[in-house]
Amino acid sequence: MAYVAIRGGADAIKGSARLMDALRAMGDTAPLELDQIERQMPLLHSKVLSEGSLYHPRLASLALKQSLGDSLEAAFFLRAYRSTKPRLGETAPHDIRNMRVIRRISAAFKDIPGGQMLGATPDYLHRLFRFELMDEGAERFDEIARDWLGNRPVGDTPLTFPKVLDSLRDEGLLAPLAQSDEPPFDITRAPLIFPVPRSAQLATMARGETGGLLALAYSNMRGYGDVHPTVGELRVGYVPVMMPHPVTGKPMESGEVLVTECEIVAMFEKSDDGAPVFTLGYGVCFGHNEVKAIAMAVLDRAISVAKEKGRVANPSEDPEFVLLHVDGIESMGFCTHYKMPHYVTFQSDMDRLRAAQGKAEEATDAPR
């Protein structure tokens, strides 16, 4: 069976594209500016940055505007754009201790070196509508900004903080950081052929779809797995990007990227020397996306559990199941392709069904 070319429909397709633009333009509202998207919808903007796996804040805003707010479509725009660009260089591994922190908390300890830093978060707010937001103008924005700038806490707040879990390592309650000379797996240039190294797992989840990661992590937390984590440290901030100088080769700061990092502490297991230690799960992604970083850390630990035990007991512990089902761009593409013409294949299905029904009727009418 072969597909046949379908002619016509070009005018309808052009009309559909024009209508997409018209949906934005109809009504009395002013066009959205890219700065408005980034500033007033920062969490949605961060989601697109993360899932698009390209740190370009302005293009992320454009992608959201062009996709009418569909975060998966917007991430697809970023991913497609990135694939057209050459790779100019690679950075050395970054030490997130150098992060310029804007939020940093620990659920494991009340008092941590440098103190808890709540930053901007909806965690402590009631999920009740603030109806005054329905009618606010530029004057209200100015009032909010003046109020914050005029009443900020006074003090010397440090820009960087030590890692909370270093104290557990110093005490021997957490295994030391593993060292590897192998280069990180590049998921943009090599296919996932299982088993894959942990670097491939982390890279795949770092650009995974937030909802997909959350669903699988929740299944593990709820009982289809053994990871019941404590957030050792969750931090959000700007990490300096260090690139080799083109002449001297020495690392130099070329910019910074906003990232969210989470380290979870899970049940203790025997270490290499036989002593029991806490186990660790790790998650990091572009932008401010705490749910994704936590879910990623849970899945990182869940996959490690299966590897250590030598068996997979639940889907969230299976690296192949997890990694092949969390990429939102791939998942969306496979799902939406069902909207494309399947005339020939469905006609074949109908022909087979009619033939099967005919044979069933003949068998029923046959003398016994």
- Average pLDDT of the segment spanning 35-58: 97
Domains of the chain by residue range:
10-82, 96-125+134-331
**Which residues, 6 or more positions from 161, have their beta carbon under 8 angstroms from its beta carbon?**
97, 101, 104, 113, 114, 117, 235
Neighbours of 267 (CB within 10 A): 13
State the distance between the two ends of the chain, measured CA to CA, in whole angstroms: 38
Which pLDDT score is estimated for 271? Answer: 72
pLDDT band with cut points at 50, 70 and 90 for residue 1? very low
Which pLDDT score is estimated for 204? Answer: 98
pLDDT, tens digit (0-9, with 9 covering 90-100), for 60-79: 999 999 999 999 999 999 99
pLDDT, tens digit (0-9, with 9 covering 90-100), for 187-219: 999 999 999 999 999 999 999 999 999 999 999
Output the six-digit token pair for 76.
């697809």
**Which residues, 6 or more positions from 322, have their beta carbon under 8 angstroms from its beta carbon?**
201, 205, 216, 299, 302, 303, 315, 316
Asked whether the predicted pLDDT for residue 331 surpasses 50, the reply is: yes
276: preceding bond cis by omega (within 30 degrees): no
Output the six-digit token pair for 17.
């594209």
d(C-alpha 64, C-alpha 72), whole Å: 9
